[in-house]
Each structure stands twice: as structure tokens, then as C-alpha cells.
Amino acid sequence: MMWHANRNRWSIFRLIGMQIFIFCSLSPAFANQESTSLPWSFLEQHRAQILQLESDDEALAFFHSATTQEPEGLRSHSKSQSGPSLKPSAKIKEAITSYLRSLGATTHAQTFREILAKPSTTILPTSTDLLPSEAQLQWIIKQPTLQTLKPVIDFYEQLSTWSTTTTSLTLPPGDDFAKFASYYDQTYQDWNESPLSWVSIFKENGQKGIEDKLLEYWQTSDHLATQRTSSSAIHDVYAQHYIQTRLLPMFRANLLTHVIQFEATAYATAWKAWRTIQEWQQQEQTNFAITRLCGTWRWIVHNHQNHGDRKMTLTFPPPDESSPSQIVPTIIEIHGDTVYLKWTFPQGVQEDSLLLSNNDTHLEGTFKNSLGPHGSISGKRLSACQP
């Protein structure tokens, strides 16, 4: 009995350890992100739609529809202009489908964890609403890191079905259940999934396999006399009591451990995919900004310090190309029609705050230089972008 108590304590320690692991591994990621950019905000907004996805094509179409409707980020360009293409490459399509699979898997894991963590009852709900459709399950486990969702679901279904059929029977006065329990506690000590563990016996042979094992006590040489003097009713009472007090709690703890491990994996998979998608979107926004400025411009720069004007011709190259004949901004940002440029020179830096107008043919704004000069800028497009 002491060993059994230690085993239960070890099970609890393992579960607590997994909870701490999840918290510690995820907390830095959460702390370093703005709340509005967290992937989980996307899950909260679109949970119902995500739980309906069953294929890559559905996932890609949904992601495109959901992100193009966002009020920020992807729609930050001028309404008069066509936005960035955001046509994903094969790598980005894989990241998007991986991200949505992970969010769906995370939701299912959270549901299982919440049910299994409730200590009030040994009965698990069997409602099919808790489980993904077969099509969605097959789609999710196409992701290699999420393939353990299927054995989790299989074990949950097997355990929930069994938990509803077991009954709690009252032990008779002066019973020998302690000897019965001690025999099994010592004979089947391993609670994990070794071949002789209860979990393995249950997964391989189901409820009948467990009940057959619980008859083994009466068939050993030490208990044959007891077998002859006891009734089948006593056998059933002992078996059911052992199932209720030992096996079902053990199986729940085992399943909960696997669910927590799976949830941590799904989190990590979602974060990895989300970072890839974010980098792609940011690069697309940068390319779109550069495309809006791409071309040749005539600028008139007025310096308020000496009240002098300087006329110059600037050429902004297409994205991913350089202009060897002139220096280009180190930072180009466009939000709506507002343009921010930062130039880095050997002597210092200059920042331009400008506004695009007339279908991106004019630029008006101001500049300030780290060395002191400041003033206005007026620009006119001379020629369009030449790819």
C-alpha cells in the first residue's frame, strides 16, 4: 500500500512538472509579443471556423479571407492602391496550414485537459462534439509533430466508454480487499506503457483484458482456498472497487500527462509557423512600400537653417534591387499614405516624414537631420518603376 501511495505521488509530481514546463517554455514567448499580435488572438476571433477546417485548400482560403478583413496590418496601404499581393510560396503555404492545424489541435487538447483535470468524477463525457471529425483529424495529423493526437483521442474514447459502464460496489464487512489490492499493486507496478502495465493491457485488450487480469488473483496457488470459499459476486465487487479506486484514476492521470505533452508540442508548432508567417507578411509590406516609391522623382528640399533650396533627382529601385549610383534609405515604412524614410550617412542620419498624394505621383513633407538642418520636401514623380 505504501508503494501504491508513492506511485500516486509520483504521478502527481509528473503532472505538476509538465504544467511548470509548459508555463516556463511559453511565458517568454508571450512576454516578448504585443497582445494584439499573439497567434492566440487569431484563435479566439476565429475558433469556430478553425474547428471546421478539414483540408489545406480550406485552410488557405480561410486564412486569406480572415487576414484580408483585418482592420490593421494587411490593410494599412492606401485604399486607392492595390495592396501587396501576399501570394504565398510553397513554404509559406506550408507554414499557414501548419499554423491552422496547430491551433485546431491546441483547442482539442485544451478541451481534453479541462475535462481530465476535474477530480470530481471518474465518468468522462462521451459526446462526439468534443472530438474532431475524422476528416479534420486526418488533416491535423498530416503535420508530423501533431500525429500523437490520434492515440490521445483513441485512448480518450476507450476510457470514456469504459468509465460510463463501471459501477461502484460496496465492499462487504470484514473483507480481504487489502490483500487483493496489494497483490496487484506489487505485481503490476509500472504505471506507464510497458507491456505489463495496466495502460498497455487496457489499450491492447480493452475492458475485458482488465477484468480477466483481475481474476488472476483467485487463480494463484496462495488464493485457491479463498477461491473455493468465495463467490463470483465477491470477485466482481473486488474487481470493480479496484477499477474505481486504482485503475480509472491512474488511466486519467496517464492520459492527462499525454494531453499536456501534446498541448505543449502544438503550442511550439503554432509559434514556429506564426513567426514564419509574420516574417513573410512584414517582408511583403516592405516590398509593397518600396514598390509605391519605386521610380524616378524630382525633389525640392528647402533648408530652414539657410533658407536655401536644393533640387535633386532620386531613383528608388524595385524591391530586392539596389541602385549603385546613389544612396538609398535604410528604412522605408508606409502606413496608409504616410511615408517614413530614414537615411544613414557617415556624418549622421536624416529622417523624412512625407505624405503620398495624387495616386502616388506627389510627395510632401518635412525632414530633420541629426546635425541640425531641417525643412520641407516637395517631390514629383518623373517616371514609373522600371522592373
In three-state form (DSSP H/G/I as H, E/B as E, the rest C), the secondary structure along the chain is CHHHHHHHHHHHHHHHHHHHHHHHHHHHHHHCCCHHHCHHHHHHHHHHHHCCCCCHHHHHHHHHHHHHCCCCCCCCECCCCCCCCCCCCHHHHHHHHHHHHHHHHHHHHHHHHHHHCCCCCCCCCCCHHHCCCHHHHHHHCCCHHHCCHHHHHHHHHHHHHHHCCCCCCCCCCCCCHHHHHHHHHHHCCCCCCCCCCHHHHHHHHHHHHHHHHCCHHHHCHHHHHHHHHCCHHHHHHHHHHHHHHHHHHHHHHHHHHHHHHHHHHHHHHHHHHHHHHHHHHHHHHHHHHHHHHCEEEEEEEEECCCCEEEEEEEEECCCCCCCCCCCCCCEEEEEECEEEEEEEECCEEEEEEEEEECCCCEEEEEEEECCCCEEEEEEEEEECCCC
Mean pLDDT for the stretch of residues 168-194: 79
Which pTM was predicted? 0.71
Per-residue CA distances from 163 to 70, 167, 200, 378 (Å): 45, 9, 17, 76
Tell me how far apart the 2 most distant CA atoms of the chain are, in Å.
114
Higher pLDDT, 26 or 369: 369
Higher pLDDT, 334 or 94: 94
> Contact, 142 vs 180, CB < 8 A?
no
Q: What's the pLDDT score for residue 125?
A: 83
> Contact, 283 vs 119, CB < 8 A?
no
pLDDT digits over 204-222, tens only?
888 899 989 998 888 875 6
pLDDT digits over 112-169, tens only?
999 998 876 667 887 777 889 999 999 999 999 999 999 999 999 988 888 877 776 7
pLDDT bin (cut points 50, 70, 90) of residue 324 is: low
* Residue 16 in this model has a pLDDT that exceeds 80: no
Q: What's the pLDDT score for residue 12?
A: 46
- CA dihedral (130, 145, 281, 69) in degrees, to 10, reads -10
pLDDT bin (cut points 50, 70, 90) of residue 302 is: very high
- Which of the residue ranges 43-57, 227-241, 245-259 would you say has the lowest mean pLDDT? 227-241
> Contact, 268 vs 256, CB < 8 A?
no
pLDDT digits over 70-104, tens only?
444 333 333 334 445 557 889 999 999 999 999 99
> Contact, 348 vs 369, CB < 8 A?
yes
Mean pLDDT for the stretch of residues 232-242: 86
pLDDT > 70: percent of the chain: 79
Mean pLDDT for the stretch of residues 340-361: 93
Domains of the chain: 2-287 (no CATH), 294-383 (2.40.128)
φ/ψ bin of 289: left (φ > 0), alpha (ψ from -120 to 50), beta (otherwise): alpha
Mean pLDDT for the stretch of residues 51-68: 93
Average pLDDT, the chain: 81
* Residue 362 in this model has a pLDDT that exceeds 90: yes
Q: What's the pLDDT score for residue 23?
A: 40
Q: What's the pLDDT score for residue 120?
A: 61
